[in-house]
Amino acid sequence: MRSTVVLCRLLLGAVFLLFGLNTLLWSFGTPLFPPPPSMPERAAAFQHALTATGFMHPLRGAVESAAGLLLVTGMMVPLALVLLAPVLAHVVLYHAVLDPTAGGRVFTGVLVALAMFLLHAYASSFAGLLRLRPPSRWHPRANAAGRTVPPAA
């Protein structure tokens, strides 16, 4: 199972590292891969709007590249997955609403499946994020590790 986790981590990381670098380079005028020759009208308008802001493509490219690099190196994998959550939501909604071609949906489905598998594999790292009322570091009954200590009897 460990080799499956590593393979999924490397695949997802390589995709986001490559596409993140492409987005960064695209925002500076020299993409690795040129944009598709034709896009649906709404998808093209959306891409043009993101490009026109001057900061969205570099920001998204930097986040994708950083998260991809973290996944490929195996460092701070839970942080990489948290960083990629809004990016994946963007990709899913883009291909569901603006460019619903079969290839985009299949590729998006594979990315989501890889991310969900990795979220499951690293589930214990997210336990604190999912606590309803987590104690702060300065909670009166928190020990040095930030865990709540039961009151003395």
Query: How much of the chain, in percent, has pLDDT values that exceed 90?
Result: 44
Cβ pair 2, 121 in contact under 8 A: no
Cβ pair 14, 72 in contact under 8 A: yes
Spatial distance between the Cα atoms of 46 and 50, rounded to a whole number of angstroms: 6
Flag whether pLDDT at 149 surpasses 80: no
Q: State the residue for tokens 């690099």.
A: 69
User: What is the per-residue pLDDT for 26?
Assistant: 80
Alpha helices, H only, the chain: 2-27, 41-53, 56-73, 77-93, 102-121
pLDDT tens profile 51-67? 888 888 889 999 999 99
Q: What is the mean pLDDT of residues 69-97?
A: 94
Flag whether pLDDT at 27 surpasses 90: no
User: What is the per-residue pLDDT for 40?
Assistant: 82
**Average of per-residue pLDDT values in the chain:** 85
Flag whether pLDDT at 82 surpasses 90: yes
18's tokens:
């490559």
